[in-house]
Amino acid sequence: MTPPLRVVLVGFGPVGVRLVEELLPAVAAGDVELTVVGAEECEPYNRILVAEYAAGEAERDALTIADSAELVARGVRVIRGRAALRIDREAREVCVAAPDERAVERIAYDRVVLATGADAIVPSLDGLESVPGGAGGQPTLTDGVCAMRTVADAERAREVIAAGGRVAVLGAGVLGIELALLIADAGAQPRLAHFGPAPMPRQLDRGSARVLVSRLAAAGVDVVPHTRAEAIITREVDGRRVFRALVAGDGKRIEADLLVLSCGVRPRVELAAMAGLRTARGVLVDDRLRSWSDPAIHAIGDVAHLADPVRYAHEREVPGGPSGLVGPGWRQAEWLAAALAAEAAGRRSSSGSSGTAIGDAAPFADDAPGLVMLKSRHVDLVQAGRVVPDPFAPEVPGETAPQVATWADPQHGTYLAMSTIDGALDAFVAVGAPRAASELAVLYQRRGELPSDRSLLLRLDAADQPERAEGREATVCVCNAVTAGDIEDAAGAGCSTIEEIGAATRAGTGCGGCRARIGEMIAQWAGQPA
């Protein structure tokens, strides 16, 4: 009898859970023996909703995404609260801390899948204590400072936010802005500090950034640009040092009851690096998600850096890196689970021979659009592609200049910028124009052409325009690549709530930013007012 394929998954976050769910049929069939190693004691949870939990917008139970006891009953071995210490590639064993912490358990494998995710970047600030080895692998910081990466971070912040306290958020990327808006909604006092002149510099041009800042101010978020954070000041409370103020290089002080660091993330590559795997911005993997250094080890999610080993094997710098979005990670998990299941079934049918090797599978390719969507009830912002260039910038000789169209109405918080190359939509940003953004997202997916009269897009969001039915091809849930047609089909099959739609299609189970839109579609389907 052919033994099952022994798979050890390191990491029990949203991407790891998706891999487990997809492998359950192979586990039930006896083709795969699956062991999951998670460093946190608690059940796996959706990190994307941690900020909502901190702001009181979600309850703790809503964050849980898997039941370990149920997985165990279905044949999965689940290890929680114990870290993977190293990978012994020669012996093909993963070394895990034993329960008594004085010994090591060695788990044999045929395949290892690294879904270790990423840690929050903690900047070097004078006066900030950072002790490694905290909850979820995050360092323990000075009281009153957190990174909003774990449930423990959210629980520390929850009390301050509920009391209407002052919260300084350092970093104005998507997550920092969403958190500041949630804090303002909860009745607290957020100040959003960032280094540059404008928020979201990797996504926004100057015009859209200015309109965004005005929308943030209207929502109760005080934006503090040009903040080169250098130190924190603390006060003593019951013998403990507690955060009091953030100090900038120009002497500016931001007094607050809580400091939240939103300075980006860094993939957790330490385990891979100790095993001798090549890393760059993440663990370098090929188009079968196999490590460049060892085909028995895979990486998915925030730790996976997908690049061509033939092209870049001898290059010092490898372009690209993890996307930082949960959607691509989920699609990687689904592809890898299918490939591993096929390999395991092939081993059984081939009576012990290698069967269908994972290298025979069609390569992983993620064709879903790279949309960035700000998740807020106050600000509609969607961006795709590179930063839209200045329409009045001089042309560079020898280069094809993109054609750029812009529309700005700062007084009403509306901005559109669209860039085309050879007629195809190459990049766009839309602020305060949700219908135009939806239309542009569909065109971007298809690399379609803009209408010759660009003002048609502006009219979509006019007050006198009737509600339009969502085009079936439009992506509603970016995280899970669920289209309006998928949701319409689920509603037609009897799903009448957001939760039922989520169970049928997985729409709304990621960042949650599409849940209101799904609710509107359900109401339209039922012929009732949304």
- Taking Cα atoms as reference points, which of 157, 122, 123, 161 lies closest to residue 139? 122
Q: Give the pLDDT mean for 95-122.
A: 91
Same domain, 138 and 237: yes
Report pLDDT for 182.
96
pLDDT tens, residue by residue, 410-459: 888 999 999 998 888 999 999 999 889 988 988 888 888 888 888 888 88
Both tokens of 104, joined, read: 């090591």
Give the strand pairing for 111-114 and 297-299: parallel
Query: What is the pTM assigned to this prediction?
Result: 0.89
The answer to whether position 366 is within a domain reads: no
Place of tokens 């099959």: 493
Which of 433, 465, 497 is at the close of a domain?
A: 465
Among 181-185, 291-295, 507-511, the range scoring the smallest mean pLDDT is 507-511
Q: For residues 95 and 30, what is the distance between their CA atoms, to the nearest angstrom?
A: 24
Query: 120, 147 in Cβ contact below 8 A?
Result: yes
- Say yes or no to pLDDT of 530 above 50: no
pLDDT-above-90 percentage for the chain: 63
Average pLDDT for 337-365: 77
Query: How many residues are listed for the chain in this entry?
Result: 530
Q: Which of 465, 485, 509 is the last residue of a domain?
A: 465
Cα gap 457→419, rounded to integer Å:
14
Query: Are residues 282 and 252 part of one domain?
Result: no
Angle between helices 14-28 and 326-349 (to 10 degrees): 20
Q: What's the number of domains the chain is made of?
A: 4
Q: What is the mean pLDDT of residues 517-527?
A: 78
Q: By residue range, what is the domain housing residue 230?
A: 122-263
Q: Is the pLDDT of residue 209 over 90?
A: yes
Tell me, yes or no, whether 300 and 168 share the same domain: no
Q: How confident is the model at residue 513 (pLDDT cuts 50, 70, 90)?
A: confident
- Who has greater pLDDT, 508 or 386? 386
Q: Which of 63, 77, 99, 92 shows the shortest CA–CA distance to 23?
A: 77
* 289 occurs within a structural domain: yes
Asked whether the predicted pLDDT for residue 203 surpasses 50, the reply is: yes
Least confident of 76-90, 95-109, 252-266: 95-109
365 in any annotated domain = no
Residue in 194, 167, 81, 41 with CA at minimum distance from that of residue 154: 167
- Same domain? For 256 and 164 the reply is yes
Q: Which amino acid is at 457?
A: L
The answer as to whether 369 is a domain residue is no
Residue 100, pLDDT score: 72
Terminal CA-CA length for the chain: 58
Cβ(240)–Cβ(140) below 8 Å: no
**Pick from 370, 458, 383, 50: nearest CA to 212:** 383
Place of tokens 């796996």: 44
The two three-digit tokens of residue 100, written as one number: 């008594």
Q: What is the CA radius of gyration of the chain?
A: 24
Structure-token match 């052919």, residue found: 2
Check pLDDT > 90 for residue 324: no
Partnered with residue 141 across adjacent β-strands are 130
Q: Are residues 523 and 397 in the same domain?
A: no
With respect to residue 390, please indicate whether it lies within any of the assigned structural domains: yes
CB atoms under 10 Å from CB of 451, counted, come to: 11
Asked if residue 256 and residue 279 are part of one domain, the reply reads: no
Give 394's pLDDT tier (boundaries 50, 70, 90): confident
Based on the domain organization, do 236 and 145 belong to the same domain?
yes
Q: Does an H or E element contain 502, and which?
A: helix 498-505
Q: Are residues 12 and 81 in the same domain?
A: yes
pLDDT digits (tens, 9 = 90+) for 232-256: 999 999 889 999 999 999 999 999 9
Please answer whether residues 186 and 161 qualify as being in contact, where contact means their C-beta atoms are separated by less than 8 angstroms.
yes
Three-state DSSP string of 200-236: CCCCCCHHHHHHHHHHHHHCCCEEECCCCEEEEEEEE
Angle at which helices 498-505 and 515-526 cross, to 10°: 110
* CATH number of the structural domain spanning residue 407: 3.30.390
Q: How confident is the model at residue 467 (pLDDT cuts 50, 70, 90)?
A: low
> Any idea what the CATH number is for the domain that residue 498 is in?
1.10.10.1100
pLDDT in tens, 380-389: 999 999 899 8
State yes or no: pLDDT of 191 exceeds 80: yes
DSSP letters along 393-405, please? SPPPTTS-PPEEE
Q: Count CA atoms within 13 Å of residue 32 on its CB side.
A: 30
| Tokens matching residue 117 | 């995710």
Residue 344 tokens read as 């395991």
pLDDT of 481 > 80? The answer is no
Judgement on whether residues 259 and 270 belong to the same structural domain of the protein: no
**Same-domain status, 421 and 503:** no
215 occurs within a structural domain:
yes
CATH at residue 159: 3.50.50.60
Residue 373 lies in a domain: no
Domain termination residue (choose one: 436, 465, 494): 465
Query: Do 255 and 278 belong together in one domain?
Result: no
Joined together, the tokens standing for residue 74 give 């279905």
In this structure, the answer to whether residues 404 and 457 fall within a common structural domain is: yes
Q: Which of 108-117, 315-324, 409-418 has the highest average model confidence (pLDDT)?
A: 108-117
CA distance 237 to 231: 19
Rounded to 10 deg, the angle between the 484-492 and 498-505 helix axes is 110
Residue 428, domain member (yes or no): yes
Averaged confidence pLDDT in the chain: 89
Supply the pLDDT for residue 399: 77
Average pLDDT, integer, range 62-69:
94
